[in-house]
Amino acid sequence: MGLNSSSKQDLEDFKSYIIVEKNFSKHTAKAYCADVLDFLLWIGEESCEDVNFSKVREYLHFIQKFNYKKNTIARKIASIRTFYKYLYRERKVDSNPAMNLTSPKRPKSLPKFLTPDEVEEILNNVKMETPSGFRNRAILELLWATGMRVSELSGLNFGDLNLEHNEIRVFGKGAKERIILVTDRAKSYLERYINTARALIPKGFPLEDVSESSPVFINNTGYRLQTKTIRNVINETVEKISLPKKVTPHVFRHSFATHLIENGADLRVVQELLGHASISNTQIYTHVSTQHLKEVYSESHPRA
């Protein structure tokens, strides 16, 4: 099937909108645009601006045969709905034909997390014989100590650091600014990296003078460290110790939140530290904590 020329342009404009104005992550923007492109290819030469509710529902019926997971179907609906919401804002359509679509209920799954001992095992197995090793240890210490997203850590600039007061400013989803707190231990590793290792990381490449807009974490060419590299650092470390869990930067975030709540932290405080727009996103960790309590109870109570 061909792609209508006006639809193609609408998709390009939509991509710019969700990246620049809505500040979607590269990963989310890529997924949304791929979903919309699939839909546009399905309608073919018909302009997306002429589509009605029945047509969108017909498309959803069509993709059922691919046996997508409920999460994938829900995302595809969200992608199309967001696309038409944009077109409506731009007055290219009179209404959003995807507005009244019902998303399938997503299966509730508890977030995976690490025990404090497992986190320490990971941290202690980061090799620190090289400048990059010092950087990697500082990165993982920060992920564990702050619960920040990997994209937030990658985006850190020197102007965001207020280490004298154990504070870091981050910009989360939707470019929302918040202040997160740093433990003394994580601060110590970060300062050691900044003061000794950072300047030694670029190999044969000149390093610019540090300014407030300079990236905190850099790669071997002196440019900002990308999220993919951070994920690789975690993967390589976990593989060495044969930890029977899949560990991602987000697992560090889940572990941070879970242990705060298990140790009595107020839900609103955890919400603020994580940068959740709604407390309902944070409440999932109370379920994790309750599950942990049940496991301890079952193991410890003589009549359980």
Q: Among the options 187, 253, 254, 259, which is catalytic?
A: 253
CA-closest candidate to residue 111, choices 263, 250, 298: 250
Pairing mode, strands 167-171 and 161-162:
antiparallel
Q: Among the options 173, 178, 192, 224, which is catalytic?
A: 173
Question: 189 with 135: CB under 8 angstroms?
Answer: no
Q: Among the options 8, 169, 250, 292, which is catalytic?
A: 250
Q: Among the options 149, 187, 198, 254, which is catalytic?
A: 149
Q: Among the options 15, 137, 187, 276, which is catalytic?
A: 276
How many angstroms separate the Cα of 27 from the Cα of each of 33, 41, 249, 255, 291?
10, 21, 14, 22, 31
> Is 250 part of the annotated catalytic residue set?
yes
Question: 57 with 101: CB under 8 angstroms?
Answer: yes
Q: Among the options 32, 84, 189, 285, which is catalytic?
A: 285
> Is 294 part of the annotated catalytic residue set?
no
Structure token pair of residue 10: 């609408």
1, with CB counted inside 10 A (0-12, 13-18, 19+), is exposed
> Is 253 part of the annotated catalytic residue set?
yes
3-class state of residue 178 by DSSP: strand
Question: 169 with 157: CB under 8 angstroms?
Answer: no
> Is 173 part of the annotated catalytic residue set?
yes
Q: CA-CA distance, 55 to 249, in Å (whole number)?
A: 40
Residues with a catalytic annotation lie at 149, 173, 250, 253, 276, 285
